[in-house]
Structures are given as C-alpha cells and as structure tokens.
Amino acid sequence: MSRVLVVEGNTKEARDQTVANGSCTQSDLYIKTLRFLKPKISCDVVMPADKGAKLPKGSELEQYDGIIWTGSALNIYEQDPAITRQIDFMKSCFEQKVKIFGSCWGLQVAVVAAGGEVAKNAKGREIGIARDIQLTALGRAHPLYKNKTTQFDAVAIHLDHVVRLPEGASVLSGNDISHVQALEIRHGSAIFWGVQYHPEFDLDYIASLIQKYKTRMIEEGFCPDEAAVNKMVADFKIAQNDENSMEIRQNYNMGEDVTDSCCRLQEISNWLDFIEQPIV
C-alpha cells in the first residue's frame, strides 16, 4: 500500500472560504482523487502556508512513497511568509530521495525552489479548459504521458507561468498560452513531475472556481456579464453530471480528455505507478 503526503497550497483563510462556499479544499479533493485511483492508498496532509505548521523533515520525508502539491490562489512572486514557507519546504523535499508531483501552484513552487522563475502571464489567464496542449519530443517518451494522446485539452485555472527553467528541468508539454504545461525537474536527490493544468479538477470543481472569480471572468473578457458567467457555471455542472449533455459538451468543445475521469486523471495515475518503482 502506497503512502503519500499531500501538501495543501492554500492559506487557512482561503481554505475556510472554499468550505463556506460549499466546496472542498484542494487537499481533500486530491485525497478523493488518489483514493479513486488507488482505494487502499494512505494519505497524510500538511499545511505549510500556515504559521507554525508541523512539517516532516529529513528522513521523515523519505518514509513517503510520494509527495503531492496542490494548487493555490497565491502568487509565487509575492513576498509573503505563507509563500516563502512553502518554497523552503519544497527545498527540503528536494534534499531527500523522494518523488514529487505538483499541479499548477505545485509546479510553480518547484520551479522557484530549484532556481527558476515564475511570472504573471502577459497573455492573460487560462481558465476553464486549456486548449491544444501538445507533448514535446521528450514528453512523448516520458512515463508521465503514458497512454496519453500527443495533443489534448485539460481543466485549468492560472494567471502565472514559468518564464525561466531551473537547471535539471525538461519541458514535457506546452501550448500557445504557456510554453511550459508540464515538466520534470531532477534537483538535489528528488524527482519532480509537474503540470500547469489541473488533472484533479473535474468540470464541477472548476465551475465552482469560475463562479468564485465571476468578477474577473467579466473584467478579463471571458464572459460579457454575470448572466453569462452563471450560464457557463451551470453548463459545466450539467456536462459533468449528465451523460446525456452532448449538446453542451459540443458547444464548449469538451472531449473525453476533460469529461472522462480515466482520460483526465491519466497523468496522476501514471505518477502513482511511478512511485512504486525505485529511484534510478
């Protein structure tokens, strides 16, 4: 039975707001996802954004088969203790012989901790569905993308992206919005796989985030008004929960890569297979 440490990227305030809005925290969502893929998996959670959080150190980290970092509403380039604590913890993870996976924020923390740079994307926010992600030559041969098509869409929400790679990084996929949609980093003693999108998010979960950011959806030109945002949210929820919602899926160009859980979760499933192998 695999044992995984889930690292929640959000602050307590953000987590409490998420729960108050009727959704689950990103660490809880990840645990749900991991148990869907591996019912007997053992999961622990840490909250390094919280002041005084008790975090495993040194050899304690190597007792885990893998470490997963969630997304976050934070911006990595802001000087805030909730951010710097997470960068420091990622550096500690890199010092150990461990396998790490990160979505969105998790990828950005790893890049910065390993010496790279993340900045606000001049092309704007990618929200809802990231389109036409294409595997690089390295990506086509990488175990992260085993059984994945060479071009696909993915559920996503991010404004920031990688602008400078750290040493030991290999780009595995990208699209027109962000040239780094996935990478591997070999740094210190650890191996990190990360994606800029969110394979763990289904359409229902991203719909709740679109609703949360409805003002930005209008200001940034994704929707003309609040009614349009509300319709998009409702349509995404129907597309997730009603198998007969073909018209909605066609209107939003939703393929199996975002509607079918097995396709959507392929990268995480591949990483779970990877953590069962020795580091070489």
Strand-pair partners of 68: 6, 101
Is position 280 within any domain?
no
Mean pLDDT of 35-48: 97
pLDDT tens, residue by residue, 55-98: 999 999 999 999 999 999 999 999 899 999 999 999 999 999 99
How high is the pLDDT of residue 41? 97
The rounded distance, in Å, linking the Cα atoms of 6 and 9 is: 9
Strand-pair partners of 185: 169, 192
Is residue 210 domain-shared with residue 81, that is, in the same domain? no
pLDDT tens, residue by residue, 155-168: 999 999 999 999 99
Does residue 280 have a pLDDT over 70? no
Is residue 185 domain-shared with residue 240, that is, in the same domain? no
Q: How confident is the model at residue 277 (pLDDT cuts 50, 70, 90)?
A: confident
Q: By percentage, how much of the chain surpasses pLDDT 70?
A: 100
Cα–Cα distances (Å) from 128 to 106, 144, 198, 210, 266, in that order, read: 19, 22, 10, 7, 19
Q: How confident is the model at residue 243 (pLDDT cuts 50, 70, 90)?
A: confident
Is residue 104 domain-shared with residue 211, that is, in the same domain? no
How high is the pLDDT of residue 6? 98
Is residue 174 domain-shared with residue 185, that is, in the same domain? yes
Is residue 249 domain-shared with residue 188, that is, in the same domain? no
Question: CA 201, 202, 208, 212 torsion: positive or negative?
Answer: positive
Q: Name every residue whose Cβ is closer than 8 Å to that of residue 176 and which is 6 or more positions away in sequence.
A: 123, 132
Mean pLDDT of 174-201: 98
Instruction: Give residue 39's domain range.
Output: 3-200+265-274
How high is the pLDDT of residue 216? 94
Mean pLDDT of 238-265: 92
Cα–Cα distances (Å) from 206 to 26, 139, 192, in that order, read: 11, 26, 25
How high is the pLDDT of residue 265? 98
- Three-state DSSP state, 128: strand
Is residue 99 domain-shared with residue 210, that is, in the same domain? no
Q: How confident is the model at residue 241 (pLDDT cuts 50, 70, 90)?
A: confident
Is position 43 within any domain?
yes
How high is the pLDDT of residue 148? 97
The rounded distance, in Å, linking the Cα atoms of 135 and 141 is: 9
Q: Distance between terminal CA atoms of the chain?
A: 21
Is residue 57 domain-shared with residue 108, that is, in the same domain? yes
The rounded distance, in Å, linking the Cα atoms of 49 and 70 is: 12
Does residue 105 have a pLDDT over 80? yes
Mean pLDDT of 217-223: 95
Cα–Cα distances (Å) from 227 to 151, 168, 231, 248, in that order, read: 32, 46, 6, 17
Is residue 145 domain-shared with residue 208, that is, in the same domain? no
**CATH assignment of the domain containing 122:** 3.40.50.880
Does residue 244 have a pLDDT over 90? no
Is position 279 within any domain?
no
Does residue 185 have a pLDDT over 70? yes
Is residue 58 domain-shared with residue 45, that is, in the same domain? yes
Strand-pair partners of 14: none
Alpha-carbon Rg for the chain, nearest whole angstrom, is 18
The rounded distance, in Å, linking the Cα atoms of 146 and 267 is: 8
Mean pLDDT of 242-262: 92
Is position 224 within any domain?
yes
The rounded distance, in Å, linking the Cα atoms of 34 and 278 is: 20
Is residue 195 domain-shared with residue 207, that is, in the same domain? no
Is residue 227 domain-shared with residue 165, that is, in the same domain? no
Is residue 231 domain-shared with residue 251, that is, in the same domain? yes
The total number of structural domains that make up the chain: 2
